[in-house]
Amino acid sequence: MMKYYLAVDIGASSGRHILGHMEDGKIVLEEVYRFVNGNVMKDGHLCWEHDRLFEEIVNGLKACKELGKIPVTMGIDTWGVDYVLLDEKDQVIGDFYAYRDSRTEGMDDVVFGKISEEELYSRTGIQKALINTIYQLTALQEQHPEYLEQARSFLMVPEYFNFLLTGVKKNEYTNATTGQLVNAKTCGWDRELMERLGIPSGIFGELCMPGTKVGNLRPEIREQVGFDLEVMLPATHDTGSAVLAVPANDDDFVFLSSGTWSLMGIERKEADCSEAARKFNFTNEGGYDHRFRFLKNIMGLWMLQSVRRELNQGEHQYGFPELIALAKEADGFPSMVDVNDQTFLAPKSMTQAVKDYCARTGQQVPATTGELLVVIYNSLAKCYADTISEIEELTGRTFTRLHIVGGGCQDGYLNQKTKEYTGKEVYAGPVEGTALGNLMVQMLKDGVFEKLEDARNCVAASFDAKKV
């Protein structure tokens, strides 16, 4: 009898349910359900539709039942940093804010008034980014202190959905590290830091590692979907899962998890919380088996997605192949932007933000859609190249290969640009890296693979990583 495992992978723009099973020594994936995601404006703030997202999770489970392919376990992964607070009756407190909301502006000054930026990095190893949970909670202190007073539980997004499925609350390590509240040396919550910042440490539960069982489905959920299973913790941060799916076991490569965000770095056994790493704005996110992802967060395909969304407000609907064709026609347009500039985080118009940046920096302003896209493509590729150079400087090593995983690896034009700018061997795939890494943890827990190296060898045999 075929044994199925289910990955629920929810990104900033879409979510998907992907079943995985073993067949002839290889991992086989099957997408069974897909749904859209995105921010909505509520009372002047960007928020997530957590009720609708949970409905979609349940709908995907129903789809498995309809197919007659019942998974034995499931795991949910999402983006990082965002969270839910629950009161004593386990009700959500306040709105389900999204990380792109502007309420965190200026919160770095508040935090650094209580702890220096240098000390904060030496403790957590996490790069400064106003989207981080630490700044979100500080904003809550400033704007709605009563919410923190009412709070009894802190759950990050996938943990909240796990709670709705099972009734069990468990905090997971890899996602927790993204918030800048975990100590990089102890790999546990930095409760002393929380006390110094005035964040109630009692709302944070024990950190659990990927591979931990959360629980079985609540009776009412079992009745809705028509079966029961075990809900497991994968690496619930989507990058943590994606990096697991890199089809290599040596250490001679840099990875790029390419999606709405681009996460570029290397895997290490210890965090680098040095002042040099801080100045380069690198982060040390926790990974499977207490590994660290030493990486940089780069704005990523968000810029291209935003331009496409703006273009598609008219009658003509642009697909990415058409946009790539327009970019190729304008290849050679010279202007560049800093893709990590805060102006690109959540602009009213990405098109205008790019044009304004070029004008502000004395460069030629793109006049056509193709020129605009070339600016973004070249700027992303150059940022990737600069990031690799910084990694090599910090580690004193030279890396020969770049492995790109995730949906963004399907953009052949960006892959080619990346190869040109980095001068590295570039390999693209697997596409469903995040879901695959999610499934790998479930399979490791179930004994399909003895160790991570075996799982990665199986990924390499199951999916072609195409050389660019």
Catalytic residue numbers read 238
Contacts for 116 with CB less than 8 Å, ≥ 6 apart? none
- β-pair partners for 6: 19, 74
- β-pair partners for 33: 17
Contact present, 406 and 242 (Cβ < 8 Å) = yes
Whole-angstrom distance, CA of residue 78 vs CA of residue 230:
19
Helix ranges restricted to H, 211-301: 219-225, 238-244, 275-279
**Burial annotation 418-431 (CB, 10 A radius, 16+ → b, else e):** bbebbebebbbbbb
- β-pair partners for 263: 257, 297
Reading the block at residue 237, the tokens are 């941060």
Q: SS3 of 92, please?
A: strand
Cα four-point dihedral sign 8, 10, 16, 18? negative
Whole-angstrom distance, CA of residue 298 vs CA of residue 100:
14
Name the DSSP letter for residue 315: S
Nearest to 180 by CA among 56, 286, 32: 286
What amino acid is encoded at 169 in this protein?
Answer: K
In the numeric block, the tokens 């890396």 are attached to 399
What amino acid is encoded at 44 in this protein?
Answer: G
Dihedral-angle region of residue 67 (phi above 0 means left; psi in -120 to 50 means alpha; beta otherwise): alpha
Whole-angstrom distance, CA of residue 355 vs CA of residue 436:
38
Angle subtended at Cα 42 by Cα 38 and Cα 47, rounded to the nearest 5 degrees: 40
Angle subtended at Cα 82 by Cα 439 and Cα 113, rounded to the nearest 5 degrees: 135
Whole-angstrom distance, CA of residue 131 vs CA of residue 303:
17
Name the DSSP letter for residue 366: P
